[in-house]
């Protein structure tokens, strides 16, 4: 595998398919994950495959205490802080798969196997993002994904990928991505125009 900086575990897989997976974490552990970020999870049974995905949704479930606090006329600051910092508020992070890495080779297609329940999920470090996004075939996977905010997810992921590069290479990368999107969306100019505004490499 490419040498990578050890990233903190942001959650564990709850449920998965070859198309994507959902990982669970606690509310106090969601400072780092963000929409469009690249994540990886190594299949616990088949340790030679790292599934790469993009975060497309972060949802925070409520519980009866949250509902009571919201209905209270004057919510105590201490109670709100205790709810956020000490209670186990469930958080689900939904990920769409955009490829996998096996023996240092990048495949921008759906993985042959989904991760297993409780497999740890990490943010990708800059080296892994750079290695994975040298090709842009994953753009087609995202464009064809269902139940995700496609344009916003693509733009956010491309900006994450640009940030993983040296400052001198970011503009060139975004222009290259824009050209690739122009080829993929030549039949839908309004959608293309919206996407290009979102990445805004100018």
Q: Which two tokens stand for residue 32?
A: 């780092």
What is the tens place of the pLDDT at every residue in 138-181? 999 999 998 899 999 999 999 999 999 999 999 999 999 999 99
| pLDDT (average), residues 60-71 | 65
Q: How many domains does the chain have?
A: 1
Q: Residue 185 pLDDT > 50, yes or no?
A: yes
Is residue 51 within 8 Å of 97, Cβ to Cβ? yes
CA distance 73 to 105: 57
Q: Domain range holding 166?
A: 9-199
Q: Residue 72 pLDDT > 90, yes or no?
A: no
Q: Residue 65 pLDDT > 50, yes or no?
A: yes
Task: Note whether residue 1 is domain-resident.
Answer: no
Task: Note whether residue 16 is domain-resident.
Answer: yes
Is residue 18 within 8 Å of 80, Cβ to Cβ? no
CA distance 28 to 85: 6
Q: Which two tokens stand for residue 103?
A: 């023996």
Q: How confident is the model at residue 1 (pLDDT cuts 50, 70, 90)?
A: very low
| Number of residues assigned to the chain | 202
Give pLDDT, residue 69.
62
Task: Note whether residue 153 is domain-resident.
Answer: yes
Task: Note whether residue 62 is domain-resident.
Answer: yes
Task: Note whether residue 4 is domain-resident.
Answer: no
Q: How confident is the model at residue 7 (pLDDT cuts 50, 70, 90)?
A: confident
Q: Residue 114 pLDDT > 70, yes or no?
A: yes
């Amino acid at each position: 595998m490419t040498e990578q900086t050890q990233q903190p575990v942001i959650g564990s897989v709850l449920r998965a398919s070859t198309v994507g997976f959902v990982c669970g974490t606690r509310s106090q552990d969601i400072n780092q994950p963000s929409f469009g970020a690249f994540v990886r999870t190594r299949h616990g049974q088949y340790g030679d495959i790292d599934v790469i995905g993009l975060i497309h949704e972060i949802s925070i479930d409520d519980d009866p205490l949250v509902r009571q606090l919201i209905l209270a006329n004057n919510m105590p600051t201490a109670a709100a802080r205790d709810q956020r910092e000490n209670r186990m508020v469930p958080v689900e992070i939904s990920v769409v798969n955009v490829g996998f890495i096996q023996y240092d080779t990048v495949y921008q297609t759906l993985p042959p196997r989904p991760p297993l329940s409780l497999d740890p999920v990490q943010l990708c470090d800059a080296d892994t993002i750079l290695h994975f996004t040298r090709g842009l075939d994953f753009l087609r996977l995202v464009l064809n994904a269902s139940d995700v905010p496609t344009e916003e997810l693509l733009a956010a992921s491309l900006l994450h990928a640009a940030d993983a590069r040296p400052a001198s290479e970011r503009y060139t990368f975004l222009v290259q991505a824009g050209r690739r999107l122009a080829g993929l969306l030549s039949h839908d100019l309004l959608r293309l125009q919206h996407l290009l505004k979102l990445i805004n490499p100018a």
